[in-house]
Structure 1
Amino acid sequence: MRTEPRHLGNNGLMLTEKGIFHQGSRFAVLLIHGLTGTPKEMDSLARRLHRYGFTVSIPVLAGHCNTIDSLLSTNKTDWLASIEQEYCRLVSQGYKVFVGGLSAGATMSILLADKYPDITGLAFYSITLRCDGWSVSRLGILLPLLLKIPLFRNHYRFKESHPYGIKNEPLRERIVMKLESGDSSAAGHTSTPGVILYEMLDLAKDARLVMPRGKVPALIVHAQEDDLASVSNALYVHKHYAGPNELLLLQDSYHLVTIDQERQSVADATARFFYDCLNHDEQQELRAQAKKRCQHLRVTQAKTAIKLR
């Protein structure tokens, strides 16, 4: 259940107990973090989209940002319910909604759009149908088969390892420190239980089934050097997703494209794609909100400069 905001700043940022909400125009972007991840892996993207005038919501998936036992008490139905609840809340408040997801969050975006085809546009970041990136061991490639064995599934742990989905070395060092701190709300968990991976692959299977009837326009963003999910994942979606779609391949990032070296390019491409999904009057409305946002930032920066003198 979504908690009530506990702080509303002058910049439109609302912090719930664990989720993040940036208040902007009536055009909202619902962002879905990855499995065992946190809303913070989407917030750099969210902040830039907010500058373009969008309202942005990043809810916490059920069982996340908590103990590993809390995570293990959930499954794909619970995760999908988390984002469906937030989508319906946004719609009920009059927002026109776009949806973007990272990794397994991207497969959830496909499933949400299949149920709610009135979603205005989609963005798939590093969509993961198979764990077949260059850093994944041969055992990882065999996971779809091995995870069907209950004994293996219940005891296996997929441990995070170098390069942790990040090409930017200073950023990677900071993320690793947070992972090792044990604070799951800061950077997620250091390993993914087999039963959770099994649910993730089940989500991917469900997404494949509905792709041929997809209708919502989609932007597919993937790194050529993705260390966890090879670019073949994106190429598969580009070929089989029936709705209008564009493919953006990144040359200087790994799996976590929303925080890695090309994060601003990812955000800018997303904003342009979503903007193009609007009609002329809506585009003018969004541009007015973005202009208002920029003016507010200039005033805030000027006030800060004065205080620092």
Structure 2
Amino acid sequence: MQYLAKGLRRAGFATLAPHFKGYGFGERSDPFATGTWQQWRAQVLDYFDELARNYRSVCVSGLCVGAVLALDLAAERPGQVTALSLLATTLAYDGWSIPWYYFLAPLAYHTPLRYRYSYRERHPYGVKNESLRKWIAREMSEKTTSIAGASSLPMTAVYEAKKLIRHVRGAISRVNAPALVIHAKEDDVASLKSAEFVLEKIGSKDVHFVLLHDSYHMVTLDNEKEVVADETIRFFCDRFRKTASAPVAGRTPRDVTNKSSAAA
């Protein structure tokens, strides 16, 4: 999310891009101690509530499971989110690079394997850009993380992510925030069905869809990252202008209104 955050700052937004404990980035003494999806939600809500206390307008963006958490946040805080940017929303792990045996995963969730097995990131690492993909592959072979995220995902994290997804699928009709949905036609992790579900089921009346044709899953890194940043900035600015109002006493208009939070 770094490229997007930099673009938002250049556009005048204050930004926060936290690494929450549980899924993706984050060092843990026990890699399988990822916590529950409710604990992930609590972290996101805490970040959002702190921003909302200090800024009149808060926009939220998330990538992959971060987009699912952004939807959950908007359902839990109706009328409080100025705008959403939902990037590669993952409501099912059904992309073309997901291994054929993934359908067996639910069986492992209910065995001790849940606390022993990690899904290692593999080619193409969610990236269509070949030079970037090679660099990510080298990073992941030498470290536990790369610019694309963690080199492996514990089964416990995937298990909790699937429970979060199930919950959000049932709650998405309560999301009334303006939403920008950006998804790659060739997403290797989550097919277009996830984006189509959001477009069909979300409760918001203000929804905009951008289809990418030269990217895989990691849309904030890949060949069309500029498109992702530009569309998000434009959407946030337009919705901010519609909701801008008088500043809170004791704060300047910039302090109060220009805020974007990215959860990934």
**Normalised by the size of structure 1, how large is the TM-score?**
0.73
What is residue 114 of structure 1 aligned with on the other side? 75
CA RMSD of aligned residues (A): 2.3
Note the C-alpha offset of 1:156.
3.1
Note the C-alpha offset of 1:181.
2.1
Matched residue count: 244
Instruction: State whether residues 220 and 234 of structure 1, in contact with CA within 8 Å, keep that contact through their aligned partners in structure 2.
Output: yes
Instruction: State whether residues 148 and 218 of structure 2, in contact with CA within 8 Å, keep that contact through their aligned partners in structure 1.
Output: no
Q: Which has the higher contact order (CA 8 A, sep 6+)?
A: 2
Aligned to 1:252, the other structure's residue is in SS state coil
Matching residue within 220, 228, 233 for 1:266? 228
Off by >4 Å, runs of 4+ in structure 1: none
Note the C-alpha offset of 1:88.
1.4
Note the C-alpha offset of 1:183.
4.2
Question: 1:1-309 maps to which residues of 2 (within 5 A)?
Answer: 42-63=1-22, 64-67=25-28, 69-70=30-31, 72-117=33-78, 118-143=80-105, 145-184=106-145, 188-243=149-204, 244-279=206-241, 282=244
Instruction: Decide which structure has the larger Cα Rg and report it.
Output: 1
State the alpha-carbon separation in 1 of the partners of residues 213 and 92 from structure 2.
Answer: 21
Question: Unpaired segments of 5 or more residues in structure 1?
Answer: 1-41, 290-309
State the alpha-carbon separation in 2 of the partners of residues 95 and 281 from structure 1.
Answer: 9
Question: Unpaired segments of 5 or more residues in structure 2?
Answer: 248-252, 255-264
What is residue 13 of structure 1 aligned with on the other side? none
Note the C-alpha offset of 1:280.
5.5
User: What is the letter of the counterpart of residue 60 of structure 1?
Assistant: H
Note the C-alpha offset of 1:150.
2.6
Q: How many percent identity over aligned positions?
A: 35
Aligned to 2:30, the other structure's residue is in SS state helix
Note the C-alpha offset of 1:281.
8.3
User: What is the letter of the counterpart of residue 81 of structure 2?
Assistant: I
Aligned to 1:136, the other structure's residue is in SS state coil
Taking a change above 3 Å as real, the CA distance of residues 94 and 176 of structure 1, as seen in their structure-2 partners, is same
Taking a change above 3 Å as real, the CA distance of residues 246 and 186 of structure 1, as seen in their structure-2 partners, is closer
Instruction: State whether residues 60 and 82 of structure 1, in contact with CA within 8 Å, keep that contact through their aligned partners in structure 2.
Output: no
Instruction: State whether residues 223 and 250 of structure 1, in contact with CA within 8 Å, keep that contact through their aligned partners in structure 2.
Output: yes
User: What is the letter of the counterpart of residue 98 of structure 1?
Assistant: C
Note the C-alpha offset of 1:152.
4.0
